[in-house]
Amino acid sequence: MNHLMVDLETMGNKPAAPIVTIGAVFFDPQTGDLGAEFYVAVNLASAMDQGATPDGDTILW
């Protein structure tokens, strides 16, 4: 499998929004089969220490 889908979950929709999770999975678009997966939660405090700014409206949504 050489197709990779990546998903980032953020606390906003602006460039400075902190990324809070990163997920990825290899897949075969012809069959729908899934391969190796990856998932990690990013520490929100450490992202904010680097200048990330959460958006209140996104959090409420």
pLDDT digits (tens, 9 = 90+) for 11-36: 999 999 999 999 999 999 999 999 99
Q: Please give the mean pLDDT across all residues of the chain.
A: 94
pLDDT, average across residues 40-51: 94
Residue 21 to residue 23: CA distance in whole angstroms: 7
Q: What is the pLDDT of residue 43?
A: 94
- Comparing 61 with 34, the larger pLDDT belongs to 34
Cβ atoms of 10 and 19 closer than 8 Å: yes
Q: What is the pLDDT of residue 31?
A: 96
Q: What is the pLDDT of residue 56?
A: 87
Phi, psi of 47 (to 5 degrees): -65, -40
Q: Strands, DSSP E only, in the chain? A: 3-10, 19-27, 34-41
pTM of the model: 0.81
Please choose, from the candidates 6, 17, 5, 27, the residue with its C-alpha nearest in 3D space to the C-alpha of residue 47. Answer: 17
Q: What is the chain's Cα-based Rg?
A: 15
